[in-house]
Amino acid sequence: MSSPTRTAPPASTAPRRRIGEIDAVRGLALCGILFVNIPPIMEMSGIVDQQVLPGRHVLDLFVQERFFPIFSLLFGVGFGLFLRSAGSRHPRPRVLLVRRLLALFGVGLLHSLLHPGEALTPYALFGLVFLLPLSWANRWVNLVLGLGGVSTALVLFGGGLPLIPGLLVLGFALAQLGVPEALPRLGGWIGAVFALAVLGAAVALPVQERDPLMAGFATPSGVAGICLATAYATGLLLLLRTPLRGVLGAVLEPLGRMALTNYVTATLLLIPLGHLAGLHGSSAYGAMALLATGILLLQLLWSRFWLARFRQGPLEWAWRCFTWWDVQPFRR
């Protein structure tokens, strides 16, 4: 890595323009994922006498497997946007992509010491195995492969971890197609996808409800998860086209811009605070929800404070330095 005395990086490494809608949707996904992560980390009980507890049941219906698909898709989108941007500024953009994925894998390994079910490590591995070779493929080929991968994972595995490769490739294909930049012009399409997703969820959720003990392990819950994830993401995109854009953007965009930092620091916060709150081994889902809300409020304040003074979150900055193998500008 070049000398830290360097005051400015080469012009070719200047950050690309942020897409506020993508940051907001990423921030929404980050909020939902925290509610999902606390119970397994705190080893909370969700089933007593073969009955799903009410708090856990609400999570299974509306949160579990409803936000990680958004996060996974957006990782694919982010890698696609990065590769396109790096390709216009560097002669070997895929070398940068490999370094970016290897750095993510390292952060994920460290994070997994506290959170064994964390997502960064599989994102990095699947990115190397699928995104890197498919970066040479046609965008329409990647779109078909992504949709096929998601469908296959739902049919054969009921969703879960096997969804990640398809979602990453699908997000990558959407970036190749230029969908993120075109979002302001796609209101009609977004509305149509939202309506179809709500209809799909209305059909899939009652089927999932017939066997609540199989939530997360059967195709109906996986289909409901994809439908609700799509409805949440497109519903937010529609709201961002209304006067609520100011409020929603102010809350969600800072969280999304620092998603990596906030994802990791949430684990660092929830473990000691969860033990102090007596959540370990408990079934206190109300207290869990309060803890998650408190952490998110703290992270919102922290993110807004930080981004008013710095260009990126600390982990995002370190990730960028490793990717470009150069010290990047930090302060605004």
What are 109-152's pLDDT values in tens digits? Answer: 999 999 998 999 999 999 999 999 999 999 999 999 999 999 99
Q: Which two tokens stand for residue 154?
A: 């739902």
d(CA 263, CA 295): 11
CA distances from 315 to 72, 196, 233, 289, 312 (A): 19, 37, 25, 26, 8
d(CA 76, CA 133): 14
pLDDT at 16: 60
| Among the listed residues 69, 42, 71, 68, the one whose alpha carbon sits nearest the alpha carbon of residue 55 | 42
pLDDT at 85: 87
Which residues, 6 or more positions from 125, have their beta carbon under 8 angstroms from its beta carbon?
105
Say whether 284 sits in a helix, a strand or coil: coil
pTM assigned to the model: 0.91
Strand partners, 331: 310
On whether the CB atoms of residues 271 and 39 are closer than 8 A, the answer is: no
On whether the CB atoms of residues 259 and 26 are closer than 8 A, the answer is: yes
Task: Identify the residue whose tokens are 């150069």.
Answer: 326
Neighbours of 325 (CB within 10 A): 12
DSSP summary character for residue 8: S
pLDDT at 168: 97
**Amino acid symbol at 323:** T
Classify the phi-psi angles of 327: left when phi > 0, otherwise alpha if psi is within -120 to 50, otherwise beta: beta
- Chain centroid to CA 254: 14
pLDDT at 329: 87
**Amino acid symbol at 132:** L
Which residues, 6 or more positions from 238, have their beta carbon under 8 angstroms from its beta carbon?
187, 190, 191, 194
pLDDT at 14: 52
**Amino acid symbol at 231:** A
| Parts of the chain with a pLDDT under 50 | 1-12
Helix residue ranges, H only, the chain: 20-41, 54-62, 68-87, 93-112, 120-126, 132-134, 139-157, 163-176, 179-182, 187-209, 219-239, 245-257, 259-276, 285-307, 314-324
